[in-house]
Amino acid sequence: MTQVNFAELGYDFIFPAYFLNNIAVAGATIGAAVKIKNPSMKSAAFSSGGLGILGITEPALYGIDVKYKTALKGACIGGAVAGAAYMLLGVKCYLFAMPGIFSLPAYIDEGNNLLFIIICIIISFAASFLYAFVFTKDAKE
């Protein structure tokens, strides 16, 4: 579908959803990392949250968010809120790029598209971070 959008329209409106999902997973994982007391899990959560910002979310999802269910819920909430924002703002991706923080140049156009995706990134990270930070309790070992 995305290849067809790039070929027919010159942009894609689905790639921003992937990007904002990755940021939401990273935000929720880092939010949970702040509350985790176990030093090894805390370290794993911070490092996998950092990887999520770069676009690699599997360590965060399967290593942290599945164990701490509130982080997973926070990622869903952050992704949904940011998804609504990006659809309302009409964010488009103009290049086929891995959905991580280094793909920001793919959102540059003559208008405010880059500003809009940055606003959505902040919304995604903040909403998921806050939910995970407020509701995460350290899991029993």
The DSSP call for residue 84 is H
* Residue-wise pLDDT tens digits, 91-132: 999 999 889 999 999 999 999 999 999 999 999 999 999 999
pTM of the model: 0.93
pLDDT digits (tens, 9 = 90+) for 54-100: 999 999 999 999 998 999 999 999 999 999 999 999 999 999 988 99
Instruction: Find the DSSP H helices in the chain.
Output: 2-8, 15-35, 39-54, 58-60, 69-89, 113-135
Task: Report the C-alpha gap between 87 and 17 in whole angstroms.
Answer: 9
Output the six-digit token pair for 118: 């940055």
Specify the length of the chain in residues.
141
Domain ranges of the chain: 2-135
Burial string for 38-56 (b: 16+ CB within 10 Å, else e) reads: eeebbebbbbbbbbbbebb
